[in-house]
Amino acid sequence: MIVIKRGKEPNSLLKFRKDNPDADYETDMPTDVAKDIREQMWEEQRCLCAYCMKKIDAPAVVRIEHCRPRHPKDEQEHDKKATLDFKWMLGVCYGNSLVRGVKPEDKTCDAHRGNTELTVNPFDELSVRKIKYKADGSIYSDDADINKDVTETLNLNCQALSLPQTRKNVLMAEKNRIMRKCKGKSQDAFIHELERTYASLVQERNLTPYCGIIISWLESKLKIS
Ligand SMILES: [Zn+2]
C-alpha cells in the first residue's frame, strides 16, 4: 500500500460539485470529470495501484476507489458530498477482475474488497507503516484489524497473481543493487546509501512497483518507526 498524498482536486470536479450540490458520485459523475480524476490520481500515485502497488499502465484503466477511513467517526459514512470529495479517493487496479470466470479468491484490491470497511488509512503514513512483510514477501500487520485489511479484505497475498513472490524479488533486486554499490566501502557509506534510497522513495516520492516492501525493510534497518 502506498501513502497517498492528494493535491488540489481537478478544476472540473470543483466546478461540478459547485454546480451540482446534491450530486452523488454513483449516479451523476460526468465521464470527463472522472477522466480528469483518473489522470490526476495516476500522476500523484506514480502510476501505482494504491493497494497492491502494481503498475497501472494508463489513466484509462485506473479504477476510482472511495476509501473513507473510519476516523474521524463523527462524519457520516455515505453522505453524498463525501463521495465527491477528492481527498478520499484512491486510484486502484482492476484486481484481476477483468479475467473471465476469475474466482473470488483470485481477485485483489477493490475488486475483492467490495464494501467491507478498512481500518488502515492510506492517507496516514503512521497507519501504512503498520503494514509489514515476511521473508517470503507476504504482507501482514501486528495490528489485527490492519492484518485483516491486507490479508483478507484486499487479498494482498493473492497466490494467483504471485504477489508475495513478486515483492520478494523486488526487495532482493534492491538489496543487490545496494550491496553492489557499497561493496568494499565503509559501514557509514552503506547507511548513507540506505538513507538516500529511503529519501528518494518516501520524501521525493520516486515510487516504484511494490516498493512498500523496500520502504519497510529500510525503516527496519534505519530504525524508523
Ligand atoms: Zn491493485
Q: Bridge-partner residues for 47, per DSSP?
A: none
Assess contact for 219 and 129: CB atoms under 8 A: yes
Distance (angstroms) between ligand 1 centre and the Cα of 156 equals 8
Asked if residue 160 lies in contact with residue 107, where contact means CB atoms within 8 angstroms, the answer is: no
Spell 17-32 as b/e; 16+ CB within 10 A means b.
beeeeebebeeebeee
DSSP conformational letter for 154? S
The reported pLDDT for the residue numbered 27 is 77
Q: Using a CB cutoff of 8 Å and minimum separation of 24, what contacts does 195-199 make?
A: 195/222, 198/222, 198/224
Rounded distance from Cα 149 to ligand 1 centre (Å):
13
The three grid cell numbers given for residue 93, joined into one nine-digit string: 487496479
pLDDT of amino acid 72: 43
d(CA 225, CA 220): 8
Ion ligand 1 residue ranges (Cβ < 5 Å): 49, 51-52, 93, 109
Angle between helix 187-198 and 212-221 (nearest 10):
140
Please give the chain's pLDDT, 225 residues, in tens. 999 999 999 999 999 999 998 888 777 889 999 999 999 999 999 999 999 999 999 999 999 998 875 444 555 555 677 788 898 899 999 999 988 999 999 999 999 998 888 999 999 999 999 999 999 999 999 999 999 999 999 999 999 999 999 999 999 999 999 999 999 999 999 999 999 999 999 999 999 999 999 999 999 999 998
CA distances from 126 to 19, 167, 196, 208 (A): 37, 21, 20, 20
| 50 neighbors 1 (Cβ within 8 angstroms) | yes
Compute the distance between CA of residue 132 and CA of residue 153 in angstroms, rounded to an integer.
16
Question: Distance, CA 192 to ligand 1 centroid (Å)?
Answer: 32
Q: What is the pLDDT of residue 34?
A: 95
